[in-house]
Amino acid sequence: MAHLALFHSVYGLRSVERVAADRFRAAGHEVVTPDLYAGETATTIDHGFVLVEQIGWEVIVERAREAVRTMPADTVLAGVSMGTGVVGDLLADRPDTAGVLFLHAIAELPTTARAGLPVQVHVADPDVFAPPAAVAALEKAAAGTGVDLRVFTYPGVGHFYTDASLPDHDRAAADLTWRRSLDFLRHL
């Protein structure tokens, strides 16, 4: 069983994160889904970026820090799209993190990330939030620090393909993502 903090997308905490958390809980994991927007949600990506600007990135990251403050040091950090950036910012302060799960985007890993840290990435191919050059740079950085990075790409799907409420949704890719994510957690 893993402890998992799942950070939401730029849309805010919505059903897609809650459903994912329930899926992980059903597999026996302890999961928290911090609301980094304090109840606000966006209806479009652009509106989500406006919310980030209004709230402020520093406030968002501090809310995330507070949400994991009392969680075990080896808590798995997971991010959905914008949430990957939150994970990237938290990881430097949580060296004992058992694993990292990036969904629908990537973030830089701190140079202090420990060798052997398991990191799993799930992104559309192509994806504006995970362009091939950025994925290649992440792979190079992971190799340089010894991070155990595994990248899964899903050709021909939209950016947020796991969200059944959006046009990007692709059921087959979503199901495969969840199976792979659960397998990742099972082996930590």
What long-range pairs does 45-49 form, CB within 8 A, spacing at least 24?
Answer: 45/10, 45/11, 48/9, 48/10, 48/11, 48/12, 48/82, 49/10
Among 126, 125, 128, which Cα is nearest to 10's? 128
* pLDDT, averaged across the chain: 96
What is the SS3 assignment for 170? coil
**How confident is the model at residue 16, as a pLDDT?**
93
143's CB contacts (< 8 A; 6+ apart) are: 149
Q: How far is CA 8 from CA 26, 34, 79, 133, in A?
A: 19, 8, 6, 24
Q: How does DSSP classify residue 145?
A: H
Q: What is the largest distance, in Å, between two alpha-carbon atoms of the chain?
A: 40
Q: pLDDT, tens digit, for every residue of 58-117? A: 999 999 999 999 999 999 999 999 999 999 999 999 999 999 999 999 999 998 899 999
pLDDT band at 124 (very low <50, low <70, confident <90, very high): very high
pTM for the model stands at 0.96
